[in-house]
Homo-oligomer: A and B are copies of this chain.
Amino acid sequence: MAVDFQSIAKQFVEHYYATFDSNRTGLLPLYRENSMLTFQDAQHLGAQSIVEKLASLSFQKVTHKVSGLDAQPTPNGGIIILVTGQLVVDEEEHPLTFSQAFQLCQDPNGQWFVFNDIFRLALP
């Protein structure tokens, strides 16, 4: 059966940012041992290292607002996603523009996880 990649991408993105904005360590189950994160030039490999990085970010409060969400199937049965949006940290007045690319893959149990994750803020 063809995977409904658009629905999976939308559900994933909603879940990802809701979790990021409420409880960053709750993102751990979305990554695996071979997952990669590139976050503003810093590279992290593996679920534990990735979530430690995300949990260590210095802001207390963050809110992501998604403005663009596009998805395509990939050759290995995965899904590539490009998210664009804005985020507000702590009591900052001005939102920051961000882009984030994901590749989701399925594990042997059919669970979707993040294999590739690249995050970048737009230059001011």
Q: List A residues at the B interface (Cβ < 8 Å).
A: 36, 38, 41, 67-68, 70, 72-76, 78, 80, 82, 84, 97, 99-101, 103, 105, 115-116, 118, 120, 122-123
- CB of B72 within 8 A of CB of A36, answer yes
- CB of A84 within 8 A of CB of B99, answer yes
- What separation, in Å, do the CA atoms of A80 and B75 have in the docked complex? 12
- CB of B118 within 8 A of CB of A70, answer yes
Residues in B with CB closer than 8 Å to A120 are 68, 70, 82, 84
Interface majority SS (helix, strand, loop, mixed), chain A: strand
Taking a contact as CB atoms closer than 8 A, the residue among B70, B72, B100, B118 that contacts A72 in the complex is: B118
User: 8 closest Cβ contacts across the A-B interface?
Assistant: A99-B99, A76-B76, A82-B101, A101-B101, A82-B118, A68-B120, A38-B70, A70-B118
What is the chain B residue whose CB lies nearest that of A69?
Answer: B120
Complex A-B: 20 CB contacts under 8 Å: A36-B72, A38-B82, A41-B70, A68-B120, A70-B118, A72-B116, A72-B118, A74-B76, A75-B103, A76-B76, A80-B101, A80-B103, A80-B116, A82-B82, A82-B99, A82-B100, A84-B99, A97-B122, A99-B122, A101-B101
